Structure 1
Amino acid sequence: MPDGVSSLPVDRELRRVLRHGTFAQVLDHALSARGLSLERVQFHLAGHGVRVSRAALSYWRHGRSRPERAESLRAVRALEAVLDLPAESLVSLLGPPRPRGRLKAGPDAIDRRLLWPAHRPLLAAVNAPQDDRVRLLDVHEHVLVGDDRGLVSMRSRLVLEAAAERVDRYLVFLWAEGSTAAVPVDPKYCRLGRVRVDDSAGATVCELLLEQRLAAGERTVVEFSSEFPPGHELTFFHHRFTRPIRQYVLQVEFAGAVPVGCVPFRQANVHAPRHLGAPLWIGASRTAHLVVTDSPPGITGLLWEWD
């Protein structure tokens, strides 16, 4: 037992949650009963030779993720000692580890191979890590449409959250209809890793290597630009999300003529029909603004009509 930490009374509520509760419920109850902050828990775990991020402890406590890897299970056993819980009481509540095979589509996720069918060979070429290691929280994209009504450039800002330990990269997918593939340039808060392109499909897969390795629950921001070669007249722009997104901001600026109409749309997948929203106003800035919050996985974007 750590110095300065009194023994936790085995009260009726603790016995109940140990018998009938989940891992998160037992951990939350034990922490509350002890009156320990997550910072103090980190300090005591370090005394056991274990280091866990505050974000990871918070995620475990609130049931947003669970420890599965060998180093995380060692941390759980140390937690049992720090919280004066019976040996294996927390570990036994974790159950068998979740399968770690290929990601399958579910109610809150879409397999990226279904959303990006033209990119499948490129994914194999970069030996892509599982898609569930990083959560995409916020996306801000500024798109420039040129005088020729074609796609000129895009500037992207992404807020990422690690959903696993030791996350050090993120995959970006680009697609340019009717032109050769674009490659990200001018990365900020990251650097470019492996890039694979298929000019015949206008498809690009690129690694963004993060400035630091993230523990589960830690967040970072990355930015990059994409410049597109001349292509077809552009009538829409969208982003494809494999998981729910907290916020998506899309700004489409028209350097030349302004469309006669512009509406937001959403699709469940690449083969589903488009569901249109209310028309958007394009003002003196010659820019259409779309702001979407708490959106489910799928395709979200803007559709416009030229005169």
Structure 2
Amino acid sequence: MPADRVSTARPVDRELRRLLRQGTFAQVLDHCLNVRGLSLKRLQDDLEARGAHMSRAALSYWRNGQCRPERDESLRAVRALEELFGLPESALVSLLGPPRPRGRGAEPGSVDRKRMWPGHDPLVASLAVSADEGLRHLSVHEDVRVGADRRLAEVSTRMVVEAARDHVDRCLVYQWVEESELPELAASRFCRPGRTRRDETAGATVCELVLDQRLMAGERTVVEFTWKFAGGPELTHYHRRFTRPVRELVLQVEFTGPAPANCVPYRQRTPADPARRGHPLWIGLTGAAHLVVEDVRPGIAGLSWEWD
């Protein structure tokens, strides 16, 4: 057998046999690559020699569990992987499960990210990351500070997140402003800023936050970050957008100057849908209004107020 080819011997190590019985496609692929000391470039070359053409980016996504093979060409590559690694026929294919539904019905109860953040889609695409970042948001606590000039000054966010798949090491956060300068990420805890993309015309910002630790499926962590704002019009509302259900939202708006005349919670399905308003909230002596919602459905939850 040539030295530059991958061995096709039957699986013999105990961990591989266990993963083939109980593991995921991504875990088996990662294990085989690690045991054999193969780079993605080497793997790509071996697949090419067998007529399976896959990019290194796609192979990396498969290995990390960010996406899985579903197209006909991808499934041909999976069968080539079985041959390369000396695995029984259909050993990897059987780990893929049924194809995931696509389109509007892809995830019941969710809202398409493009509908919720229409101006951000080109920025996300430029980062060349999976649209599904692999994180569930369990709770979101957001502290919004409005200056004495009635303008947005600062937003601090604390999120508890859970990995929906293995090898999750980052998340994307979004900001949108209207008729004001784009915000700056001023601080972060339990993570560090990665790449940032901006579109001043659309008022859109996307920032990649790299987690302190790589999460396996079911593991949880906390992410904290603060945005600083400069300039902008008089603020009369603030909201949080959710594409998936969240167990708890705590939205706190602090007015550092005189408090507005009233403050009302509202909900929307998407930015294009009409708002449904609730009962007025009390603004305490500290000049803060609080919105606490459990089992938040996908959509928009926010507060609006009148100054005079």
C-alpha separation between the residues in 2 aligned to 1:100 and 1:173?
A: 26
Letter in 1 for 2:289: A
Q: Deviations over 1:218-276 (max 9, x none)?
A: 00001010001110111110111010011010100001121111111110111111011
Structure 2: where are the runs of 5+ without partners?
A: 1-12, 32-87
Q: Is the 8 A contact 1:264 1:303 kept in 2?
A: yes
Partner of 1:124: 125
Letter in 2 for 1:290: L
**Runs of 4+ more than 4 Å apart:** 90-95, 100-106
User: CA 1:123–1:95 in 2, change beyond 3 Å: closer, same or farther?
Assistant: closer
Name the % identity.
48
Q: Is the 8 A contact 1:249 1:289 kept in 2?
A: yes
Q: Is the 8 A contact 2:190 2:212 kept in 1?
A: yes
C-alpha separation between the residues in 2 aligned to 1:267 and 1:121?
A: 24
Q: Is the 8 A contact 1:188 1:222 kept in 2?
A: yes
Structure 1: where are the runs of 5+ without partners?
A: 1-46, 53-59, 61-65, 75-86
Letter in 2 for 1:207: E
2:284 counterpart SS class: coil
Q: Does 1:49 align with 2:15?
A: yes
Letter in 1 for 2:270: N
Provide TM-score, normalisation by structure 2: 0.70
CA RMSD across the alignment: 3.0
Q: Which moved more, 1:90-99 or 1:291-300?
A: 90-99
User: CA 1:105–1:181 in 2, change beyond 3 Å: closer, same or farther?
Assistant: farther
Q: Is the 8 A contact 1:176 1:228 kept in 2?
A: no
Q: Describe how 1:107-122 pairs up with structure 2 within 5 A.
A: 107-122=108-123
Q: Which moved more, 1:164-173 or 1:107-116?
A: 107-116
1:144 counterpart SS class: strand
Q: Does 1:71 align with 2:37?
A: no
User: CA 1:104–1:186 in 2, change beyond 3 Å: closer, same or farther?
Assistant: farther
C-alpha deviation, 1:204, in angstroms = 0.5
Letter in 2 for 1:48: R
Q: Deviations over 1:173-220 (max 9, x none)?
A: 011221121132211000000001112222110000001111011000
Letter in 2 for 1:115: M
Q: Is the 8 A contact 1:104 1:111 kept in 2?
A: no
| Alignment: residue pair count | 237
Q: Is the 8 A contact 2:137 2:161 kept in 1?
A: yes
Provide TM-score, normalisation by structure 1: 0.70
